[in-house]
Structure 1
Amino acid sequence: MVIAPIKENISTDYSLENWLQSPPEGTEWVNGELLEKDGVTLKHSRVQAKLATYWRNYKEASGQGGEVYTEAPCRTNQQGRRPDVAYLTPELMQQFGEPAVLPQSFPLIAEIISPTDLAEDIIAKSQEYLQSGSEEVWLVFPENRWIIVVNKNQRLIFISGEIVKTQAVLPGFNVAVDELIG
């Protein structure tokens, strides 16, 4: 889920360490506060489910293995996050197993952007993921039918009528922007 600009603070006495041990459902730990994620619409949920299904089906059909998650908690260098969709490689699954919270960002992450999200926050979040172990972040804009794929070396924009492709993780995956968002 995406965090909307106005977030409900549900506790200021909750530490990152507490969140990492047992993250309350539907929360992220951001800037020293436990925040409830909000801003989810039916369209957001539909796109999230479709992308998770596409990534899962592709990793199975291609034999690449790994696992696809939705709303799975991970730790970045600064925060406790729950990306909308995330892919964990077989190598990292073997290294970490399945802890309560992944101790780094997932290698491939997608965030579904809501109309109330602020551009500065979205860009900062994608950079936070990349600085914490992600190799590729998808920013999916359902209302505009845009998908921005970000990695450490490039930023690519895919629009309606185009095919979006993974760049660094889950090699060979592609889907029409209109099929995913439409």
Structure 2
Amino acid sequence: MSIAPMPPVTLNEFLRNEAEAGEGVRLELIHGEIRETDTTTRSAWHSFFLAQLVARLVLWQDSKLDFQGSVAAGEVRCQLDPESESVVGIDVGVWDQEAPSFDPPLYEGPPVVAAEILSPSDTVQGVSTKTELYLKSGVGQVWILDPVWKTVTVFRKGQKPILLGDDDLLSGEGELPGFSVPVSRFFGKLKDVASPSEVH
């Protein structure tokens, strides 16, 4: 006897589950399936790189008087695609819409740029799945910052990933006209706190 598949979880059901889970539990909704992910206090280097990126994005935002969007950071809740019932937390995102109201307390629709800062608990499969989900949902650029190797990998739909190092510039052209920052600005001011062997 076959077992019928469970129906997809709706956004309202997800938000209710998230509220009932309480503090210290981090949930995401991927194609209608609730997934619990690792919840840890952010390390010093993760928070440092996040702050560096956000500071430069806000400076760019302030310089663009015609930009009507918003920059947000810190596991920003986002419903990427209402049809796929996927809600994720994004490290840093730039949206072409204003910050959301409190009901529902999340961005509705994908950011134009999404950035993730790798943590020791991240897996290759997990990062790849999330990157693919972002691109399929309409995110223009996905930036993966690797604090251990001091690189930024840029993903665009239908294009090969571009790996950037200390001597390269991270450019937002296309989605973020005029945004450009040396990769070395993210990694040059913090002492090494992890070795490649510590990342799994």
Following superposition, the deviation at residue 49 of structure 1 comes to: 1.1
Instruction: State yes or no: 1:151 paired with 2:156.
Output: yes
- Taking the aligned partners of 2:130 and 2:169, their CA distance within structure 1 comes to 24
**CA 173–21 in structure 1, closer or farther in 2 if over 3 Å, else same:** farther
Gaps of 5+ in 2: 1-8, 189-200
Following superposition, the deviation at residue 59 of structure 1 comes to: 1.2
- TM-score if structure 1 supplies the norm length? 0.78
Instruction: State yes or no: 1:113 paired with 2:108.
Output: no
Q: What's the Cα RMSD here?
A: 2.5
- Taking the aligned partners of 1:131 and 1:142, their CA distance within structure 2 comes to 26
Q: Is the 8 A contact 1:84 1:110 kept in 2?
A: yes
Instruction: State yes or no: 1:122 paired with 2:127.
Output: yes
Match of 2:106, SS state, is coil
Q: Is the 8 A contact 2:112 2:139 kept in 1?
A: yes
CA offsets 1:51-78 (integer angstroms, 9 cap, x no match): 1111011111132342110122012335
Following superposition, the deviation at residue 103 of structure 1 comes to: 2.4
Q: Is the 8 A contact 1:22 1:100 kept in 2?
A: no
**CA 22–61 in structure 1, closer or farther in 2 if over 3 Å, else same:** farther
- Taking the aligned partners of 2:17 and 2:60, their CA distance within structure 1 comes to 31
**CA 130–61 in structure 1, closer or farther in 2 if over 3 Å, else same:** same
Q: Is the 8 A contact 1:136 1:167 kept in 2?
A: no
1:74 maps to which residue?
Answer: 78
How many residue pairs end up in the alignment?
165
**CA 45–112 in structure 1, closer or farther in 2 if over 3 Å, else same:** same
Larger Rg: 2
1:139 maps to which residue?
Answer: 144
CA offsets 1:106-158 (integer angstroms, 9 cap, x no match): 12110001133111211110110111231111101011111011111322111
What amino acid does structure 2 have at the position aligned with 1:19?
F
Q: Is the 8 A contact 2:27 2:34 kept in 1?
A: no
Gaps of 5+ in 1: 1-13
Instruction: State yes or no: 1:83 paired with 2:78.
Output: no
- TM-score if structure 2 supplies the norm length? 0.72
1:50-61 matches, cutoff 5 A? 50-61=52-63
Match of 1:44, SS state, is helix
The higher relative CO (CA closer than 8 Å, separation ≥ 6) is in: 1
Following superposition, the deviation at residue 41 of structure 1 comes to: 1.2
